[in-house]
Amino acid sequence: MTAVLEISGLRKTYRSRKGVRNALDGFDMVVEAGQVHGFLGPNGSGKTTTLRTLLGLIKPNDGRMAILGREVPRHLPEVAREVGAIVESPQFFGNFTAEATLSLLADAGGVNRNRVYSVLDLVGLRDRAKERVKTYSLGMKQRLAVASALLKEPKLLILDEPANGLDPGGIREMRTLMRDLSDSGMTVLLSSHILGEIQLICDSVTIISAGRRVTSGSVSSVLAQHTSGAVKVRLEPGVDLMSAAQLLRAAGAQVDMAADHFTVGNASNPAQITKLLADRQIYVTELTPVAADLEDVFLELTGTAPVEGHTRQVDESALTAGQSKGGWGQ
Amino acid sequence: MSLARAESRRLIKRRFTKVLLIGLLLVLAAVFAGSWFTSEKVGPSQIAAAKAEADGYYQEALRTAATDKQQCLAAAGTPQAANWPANCDELYTPTREDYDYRWYMPATFDLREDFRNMISVFAVVLAAVAFLIGASFVGAEWNSGGMMNLLLWRPQRTRVLGTKLIVFLSWLVGVSVLLGAVWAGLFRVLAEARGTTDKMTSGVWQSFGLMGLRGLGLIVAAGALGFALASLGRHTGMALGALVALGAVQIGVYVMAGLAGFKYPDLLFTPFWIFAVLYKEWVATDYTSCDYSSVAGCRPDTFTMTWQAGSIGVAAVAVLVVAAALWTMRKRDIT
């Protein structure tokens, strides 16, 4: 596969009277052609700075970026025609209609104005095209933003929080649209906090924290790398769960009790569980791995899981890439 | 070319542009209507009426003078004599020249004499509108996020801002020339219908044309200044704020220069530059230098600011601010 987007060693430093803040601290990312790539990170981690830098709105201090094989920002004017983007919240001049907004952009970008109605149709705004943008809800503005990004028929579509403000139906429509665009050969870079959506839509992800990449790869490989190793254990009816749990704890297992089952948290070799219990004539009826989802991985990697009694500040996140956990039973 | 076309459409589509243009037309229409209704064609009957009125005032003044002389003579040798001169013949006797009939003529619009002021009114009103439209055209784009959107489509910052400015100034020149021609035509009609076009030679028209060109320069400079200030501040309000601040600084500098003994504080006050541009010169006077003499009278020192000097000052300010706006557009992050 060819890389549509490559970023390496990207740095952006903001200096103010309060000191120096590294918004991007050697960030790397690669997005392969034809993929829907999720770009995740906590608030203030550098996602929007990365996208703005990539699109020439912010000047980096260091690093290399390339879109469609061409170095940017040097060649950005040439590749801009191939890149559709929305960055952060949709921003339009409120007194213009959606149709006027898009036709002005089409004129500015040298795109045929006939495409305006087809993209408005694509995002479900055709019937409201003649209304002023200031009368639109946030979700409708979001749809208009996506329409503006699609107007150029781009090869690379960069969307920052496209589902922001959308109703559940709209989120599902957006998901379908992303998949359809990807199937048509378009590469989509999707920044979002709706991790369930990312897991459903995306082929691959990059997670950023404190301006650095903490993990990247296909969704399945990222989940596999950060799987919890926990298994859920259910026993024959009538067996004393507590004594079975004690038995495993004595062997070093981390056991969490539930009403009708227990979970072994560090079961890197589940066969040990069945062996230990079977030796005492305790038989297992269910032994299933507890799958980690993207939210778990995200919270673990970025160190942003809520802690009781502690209010996390936006700049509090962690760099935990590459940490491996040992497991019981290996 | 496509960017210029898009920007032209954007400028004309903007409601603020339309509202200000309508406001401009209303102000100009009010000025014209005021001139129309206060001007009256002067003919033999108006001259006769003016002469009769002047003569009436003259006769009344003569009667008053005669009464005064009688009272003066009657007061001789009484305590009232202190209120009158010792020699009652010294009392002033009015002459007919003191009551020139032309002073009693109805107001009439003299195209040759009065149209210059109308060119100034036109230029100043249009310059104010140009400043506001220029500031709003780019300020609203920054404020609404439209500029960022545009830069995602055309990531060439200087070109985008420069195209916007050129499109706006071209439109401004077009509108000013068109309205200026209509303005001149209207006042010619007014002069013919309710005033006078006496002594109008091709040289006078040429002089009006040159004054109009200098006014056009002011309008363009004001538009560019509004545009550039709003772009620097990335908000329409910043241009207005900067204008108010500059006005305050100007007054402060003018007052301080006077207090500090600067010979011609007028030279530091930009409204006088504008006056010089429009009326070809501004004579700054140093009244403190006036050494009164009963022989030579009071002749204070003066300094004449020419329209060329005023134009260079106005152009330098506009060019500097526009250059700063283009430089910051190129250098500053867009967040």
CB A86 within 8 A of CB B153: no
DSSP lists the bridge partners of residue A232 as A263, A288
Tokens 């002389």: give the residue: B69
Q: How many pairs of residues across A and B have Cβ atoms under 8 Å apart?
A: 74
Q: Tell me what pLDDT residue A315 has.
A: 64
Q: Tell me what pLDDT residue B294 has.
A: 66
Is the overall model pTM greater than 0.80, yes or no?
A: yes
Determine phi and psi for B262, rounding to 5 degrees.
Answer: -60, 135
CB B221 within 8 A of CB B315: yes
Residues of A with CB under 8 A from a CB of B: 52, 55-59, 73, 76-77, 80, 85, 87, 91-96, 100, 104-105, 107-110, 148, 152
Which of A58, A96, A152 lies closest to B334 in CB terms?
A: A58
Measured in angstroms, the CA of A119 and the nearest CA of chain B are apart by 16
Closest-CA residue of A relative to B159 is: A77
Tokens in use for B29? 């229409």
Q: Tell me what pLDDT residue B188 has.
A: 96
Profile chain B (335 residues) by mean pLDDT over runs of 10 residues: 89 94 97 95 90 94 93 88 87 91 91 96 97 96 88 92 97 98 97 92 95 97 97 93 92 91 90 94 86 72 93 96 96 88
Measured between beta carbons, the chain A residues lying within 8 angstroms of B5 are 107
Burial category of A120 from C-beta neighbours within 10 Å (exposed 0-12, middle 13-18, buried 19 and up): buried
Q: Give the Cα separation of B42 and B55 in Å (integer).
A: 19
CB B168 within 8 A of CB B223: yes
ipTM of this complex: 0.77
Tokens 């060109």: give the residue: B213
Closest-CA residue of A relative to B15 is: A95
Tokens 């160190």: give the residue: A303
Condensed to tens digits (0 to 9), the pLDDT of residues A207-261 reads 998 899 988 998 888 877 776 678 889 998 888 888 889 988 888 888 888 888 8
Q: Tell me what pLDDT residue B176 has.
A: 98
Residue A71's SS3 state is: strand
CA end-to-end span of chain B: 27
Question: β-strand A70-72 against A62-67: which pairing, if any?
Answer: antiparallel
Find, among A126, A141, A129, the residue nearest to A99 by Cα: A129
B/e letters for A132-155, b = 16+ CB within 10 Å, e = fewer, are bbeebeebbbbbbbbbbbbbbbbb
Q: Tell me what pLDDT residue A307 has.
A: 66
Find, among A211, A246, A217, the residue nearest to A21 by Cα: A211
pLDDT in tens, chain A (330 residues): 689 999 999 999 998 888 888 899 999 999 999 999 999 888 888 899 999 999 999 999 999 999 999 999 999 999 999 999 988 777 788 889 999 999 999 998 889 999 999 999 988 899 999 999 999 988 888 889 889 999 989 999 999 888 877 888 888 888 888 888 888 889 999 998 888 888 888 999 999 988 999 889 988 888 777 766 788 899 988 888 888 899 888 888 888 888 888 988 777 788 888 998 998 889 999 988 877 777 777 777 777 766 666 666 666 665 544 444 444 544
One-letter-per-residue 3-state SS of A82-138: HEEEECCCCCCCCCCEHHHHHHHHHHHHCCCCCHHHHHHHHCCCHHHCCCEHHHCCH
Name the DSSP letter for residue A281.
T
Hey, are the CB atoms on A92 and B333 less than 8 Å from each other? Answer: no
Tokens in use for A243? 């004594």
Closest-CA residue of A relative to B152 is: A55
Closest-CA residue of B relative to A60 is: B333
Measured between beta carbons, the chain B residues lying within 8 angstroms of A94 are 144
Closest-CA residue of A relative to B16 is: A95
Tokens in use for B217? 């320069």
Residue A69's SS3 state is: coil
Tokens 């403190």: give the residue: B288
Hey, are the CB atoms on B6 and A95 less than 8 Å from each other? Answer: no
Measured between beta carbons, the chain A residues lying within 8 angstroms of B4 are none
Question: How is the beta sheet containing A83-86 ordered, strand by strand?
Answer: A83-86, A156-160, A187-191, A36-40, A204-209, A212-218
Measured in angstroms, the CA of B316 and the nearest CA of chain A are apart by 30
CB A25 within 8 A of CB A61: no
What ranges in chain B are assigned the alpha helix state H? 2-13, 15-38, 44-74, 111-144, 146-153, 157-194, 202-233, 236-259, 270-279, 307-331
- Cα B320 from chain centre: 24
Q: Which of B8, B19, B152 to mutate to test the interface with A (most CBs of A within 10 A)?
A: B152
Q: Give the Cα separation of B265 and B276 in Å (integer).
A: 15
CB A113 within 8 A of CB A79: no
Calculate the alpha carbon distances from A184 to A32, A153, B201 in Å: 15, 11, 74
Condensed to tens digits (0 to 9), the pLDDT of residues A2-13 reads 899 999 999 999
Q: Among positive and negative, which fits the CA dihedral A179, A181, A184, A188? A: negative
Determine phi and psi for B156, rounding to 5 degrees.
Answer: -135, 90
Question: β-strand A212-218 against A204-209: which pairing, if any?
Answer: antiparallel
Calculate the alpha carbon distances from B29 to B21, B85, B121, B282 in Å: 12, 56, 12, 29
Q: Give the Cα separation of A136 and A124 in Å (integer).
A: 13
Determine phi and psi for B98, rounding to 5 degrees.
Answer: -70, -10
Q: Tell me what pLDDT residue B179 has.
A: 98
Hey, are the CB atoms on A59 and B333 less than 8 Å from each other? Answer: yes
Burial category of B68 from C-beta neighbours within 10 Å (exposed 0-12, middle 13-18, buried 19 and up): middle
Calculate the alpha carbon distances from A245 to A265, A318, B176, B200 in Å: 12, 34, 90, 113
Hey, are the CB atoms on A92 and B146 less than 8 Å from each other? Answer: yes
